[in-house]
Amino acid sequence: MTATLLTPDYLRRHPLPRHDGGGGKEDRGRVLIVGGSATLPGAPLLAGLGALRAGAGILQIATCRSVAPHLALAMPEAMVVGCSETEDGGLSPEAAGRIIELAGKVDAVLIGPGMSDLDATRELATRLVAEVHGPQIVLDALALTGLKDVPHLLQDKAGRVVITPHAGEMATFLDIERDEVEADALAAARRAHAATGAVIAMKGVDTFVVSANEHWVSKRGSLALATSGSGDTLAGILIGLLARGTPPLLSVLWAVYLHASAGERLAQRYGRVGALAREIPAEVPMLMEELLA
């Protein structure tokens, strides 16, 4: 099966939820980002910017206790919760109980940005996926690769899980070579969907989106997106749209388009190289307005 080209016309025909006529921030949903570490403390911030710029109403971040005060100062829009951490400065599996409690009160959860310590992440992510019930779940980065041996947990959550790997993460998840993923990214995404039941956003020069019955490809974007932290902003945009009540597949299609289009605008402003990931989310609100006008 070939992939259908994602176009702005399709998104105009399948709009995001509108929030006209007032309403409070609760009406646009709550998100929880689980991530960060001593070595990558800023990843949850980038994801949080993406979530808020995509329209989420309330942002919470669960991160390492040593990182939390600094992150709270850097991002005053978020409620930041410090959690147990490992000796290496990663989130500890002991944090699971507190995170599960937080997740029970939100609409969408992102697990993975900036997490380190593979063994601890594997144990924590496995428990979170098994015991978080209700919200939509997005798995990114180390949290995804940590779940490679328990895809049945994702099958149990089919319809509520999105995974957002790049080629290296997909290769680890499928236990194949990166070159094999890059040679046929659509086939790799289809394999991942078959194993997990999740909606797959296979990031790359061309980004493929695979669900049970639909295969899509986005050919938009710019070299400006090939920068550290760019994937964190995409994952954040995605959970922001999910929290607003957008269905998972449509959320992924919108997020991929908005992220790619933001990269194109940054390339026009700064050139194809030199843009910062933190600049991506600021482009999103007007891009949404233009498509929804």
What residues does each domain of the chain span?
A: 24-292
User: Can you say which residues are annotated as belonging to the binding site?
Assistant: 43, 114, 166, 203-207, 231-232
Q: Distance between CA atoms of 100 and 133, rounded to whole angstroms?
A: 9
Give residue 21's pLDDT. 67
Give residue 26's pLDDT. 86
| One-letter identity of residue 261 | S
Q: Please work out, in degrees rounded to the nearest 5, the angle formed at the alpha carbon of residue 196 by the alpha carbons of 199 and 277.
A: 45
Give residue 23's pLDDT. 75
Give residue 20's pLDDT. 72
Give residue 24's pLDDT. 81
User: Can you say which residues are annotated as belonging to the binding site for (6S)-NADPHX?
Assistant: 43, 114, 166, 232
Q: How many CB atoms lie within 10 A of CB 276?
A: 14
Q: Which CATH class is domain 24-292?
A: alpha beta
Could you list the mean pLDDT of each consecutive 10-residue stretch along the chain, which spans 293 residues?
94 91 84 98 99 98 98 98 97 98 98 96 97 97 92 92 97 97 98 97 98 97 96 99 98 99 96 96 98 86
Q: What's the pTM?
A: 0.97
User: Can you say which residues are annotated as belonging to the binding site for AMP?
Assistant: 203-207, 231
Give residue 97's pLDDT. 98
